[in-house]
Amino acid sequence: MGKKAADLEVQILEIKGRCPVYEKGDVFIIREGYKLMVPEGCELCLHGLASLLTFSTALSRGITPHALGLGPEDSERAMVQCPDPCERTGGGTVLFGIRRLSSAGE
């Protein structure tokens, strides 16, 4: 059987333009690869969330950001951005940093 899914920490690293949902430094957790843990008062944007979900299972199971083309070889944090083309929409393009947290027994 494959590796047990670990928790992922998702942090807002940068915002280009003006995002109506996130602020730089916001954090939420994806527990065991599929349970969203959102701090009280924090909102999630489905546009941005959709861009993360493609990679969340692989990252939670230990595939490195580099192997997925989402970071340099020595990085423990995957970089993914939301699809909002802020130059055209007046919105904000958000850069998410996704880090695998150690699971029990690692």
Per-residue pLDDT 10s for the chain (106 aa) are 456 899 999 999 999 999 999 999 999 999 998 899 988 888 899 989 999 999 999 999 999 999 999 999 999 999 999 999 989 988 899 999 999 997 655 5
Q: Are 59 and 69 in contact (CB under 8 A)?
A: no
Quick one: the chain helix, strand, coil %, rounded to 5?
20, 30, 50
Does 101 map to a domain? Answer: no
Quote the tokens at residue 76: 């423990």
Quote the tokens at residue 6: 């670990």
Q: Give the span between the Cα atoms of 51 and 58, in whole angstroms.
A: 14
Does 93 map to a domain? Answer: no
- Identify the domain containing residue 8 by its residue range: 1-12+23-73
Q: Are 99 and 77 in contact (CB under 8 A)?
A: yes
Nearest to 103 by CA among 2, 30, 4: 4
Does 44 map to a domain? Answer: yes
Does 28 map to a domain? Answer: yes
Does 86 map to a domain? Answer: no
Does 82 map to a domain? Answer: no
Our count of domains for the chain comes to 1
Does 65 map to a domain? Answer: yes
